[in-house]
């Protein structure tokens, strides 16, 4: 049963009571049900070819992101200076630091895995783009975190990075030496930006499904997003024909 077939199971038009309500709310509801059907969002089966440890790193990245958010939230309760004077605070700072290190490590492995799968194939380019921008946004979030540590490291990073930011005009409105501004970016703007991208990324993965294997042929072909090359179509068609 295909994803689309499965989605069709919950199409309003096929239910016993068609959703024909008028208004914006009903229209949004119909659109959400059509685009993001529950059994596609939370599947209890997955394609057979999803059988490698590399697939684990996507969910590990997501898990680490939640630990980062949770440990950061605990640090936020008593403010940015708390961890310098409290053993418990210092532990949560350590937890925040190491979960960030894990988050970035898992994300990089996930990224390389998706690159080698040419995972942008089959109208999945936007999935790649949201993931790539989330990675860049995560670097910015971590950078502002290092700036708000309130120690020698943050002092040095601030005075060093100002030159690069000033050189391209960004420093005129984004100053790494402005602790208050960096803290707001670190705990509000950038996490929201990355969080929204992560949610969109996951929804796109669920909606399009996991990218199918590359055709096992030695003939080079473009892995163009949204298309199947001639060689690719041949091979994929051959493979598809063999599926039940």
Q: Which of residues 140-179 bind another protein (CB under 8 A)?
A: 142-143, 146, 149-161, 163-164, 166-169, 171-173, 175, 177-179
Contact map string, positions 30 to 69, toward another protein, x by CB under 8 A: ------------xxxxxxxxxxx-x-x--xx-xxx-xx--
Which residue's entry shows tokens 């091979």?
235
Helices 190-208 and 125-147, axial angle in degrees (round to 10):
160
Choose between 17 and 48: whose C-beta lies nearer to another protein.
48
Q: Shortest gap between Cβ of 78 and another protein (angstroms)?
A: 16
Q: Which of residues 120-139 bind another protein (CB under 8 A)?
A: 120-123, 125, 128-129, 132-133, 136, 139
HSE of 209, CA atoms in CB hemisphere, 13 A: 20
Give CB contacts under 8 A, 24+ apart, made by 163-172: none
- 226: left (phi > 0), else alpha (psi -120 to 50), else beta? left
Other beta carbons within 10 Å of 185: 22
Q: Closest distance between another protein and the C-beta of residue 192, in Å? A: 20
CB of 196 to another protein, least distance (A): 16
**In the complex with another protein, which residue's Cβ is closer, 29 or 98?**
98
Q: What is the closest distance, in whole angstroms, from the C-beta atom of residue 13 to another protein in the complex?
A: 21
**CB of 23 vs another protein, minimal distance in Å:** 33
147 within 8 A of 158, measured Cβ to Cβ: yes
- CB of 22: closest distance to another protein in angstroms? 32
Minimum distance from residue 149 beta carbon to another protein (Å): 7
Residue with tokens 């997501």: 62
Note whether 97 binds another protein by CB under 8 A.
yes
Report how far residue 119's alpha carbon sits from residue 93's, in angstroms, rounded to the nearest whole number.
35
Binding another protein by CB under 8 A: which of 33, 104, 200, 203?
Answer: 104
CA 188 from chain center: how many Å? 17
- 223 lies in the binding site for another protein (CB under 8 A): yes
Site size toward another protein (CB under 8 A) is: 116
4 binds another protein (CB under 8 A): yes
Rounded to an integer, what distance in angstroms lies between the CA atom of residue 5 and that of residue 132? 30
**Is the Cβ–Cβ distance between 137 and 193 less than 8 Å?**
yes
Site residues (CB under 8 A) for another protein, limited to 192-211: 209-211
């Amino acid at each position: 049963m295909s994803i689309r077939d499965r989605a069709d199971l919950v199409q309003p038009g096929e239910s016993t009571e068609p959703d024909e309500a008028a208004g914006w709310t009903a229209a949004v509801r119909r659109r959400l049900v059509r685009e993001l059907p529950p059994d596609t969002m939370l599947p209890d089966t997955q394609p057979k070819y999803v059988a490698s440890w590399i697939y684990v790193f996507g969910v590990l990245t997501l898990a680490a992101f939640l630990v980062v958010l949770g440990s950061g939230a605990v640090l936020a309760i008593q403010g940015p200076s708390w961890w310098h004077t409290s053993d418990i605070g210092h532990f949560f700072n350590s937890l925040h630091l190491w979960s960030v290190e894990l988050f970035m490590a898992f994300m990089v492995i996930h990224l390389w895995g998706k690159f080698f799968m040419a995972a942008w194939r089959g109208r999945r380019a936007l999935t790649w783009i949201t993931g790539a921008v989330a990675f860049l946004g995560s670097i910015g979030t971590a950078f502002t975190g290092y700036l708000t540590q309130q120690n020698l490291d943050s002092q040095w990073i601030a005075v060093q990075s100002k030159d690069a930011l000033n050189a391209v005009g960004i420093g005129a409105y984004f100053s790494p030496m402005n602790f208050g501004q960096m803290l707001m970016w670190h705990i509000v703007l950038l996490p929201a930006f990355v969080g929204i991208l992560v949610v969109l990324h996951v929804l796109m993965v669920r909606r399009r499904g996991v990218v199918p294997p590359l055709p096992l042929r030695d003939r080079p072909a473009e892995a163009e997003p949204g298309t199947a090359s001639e060689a690719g179509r041949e091979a994929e068609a051959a493979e598809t024909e063999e599926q039940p």
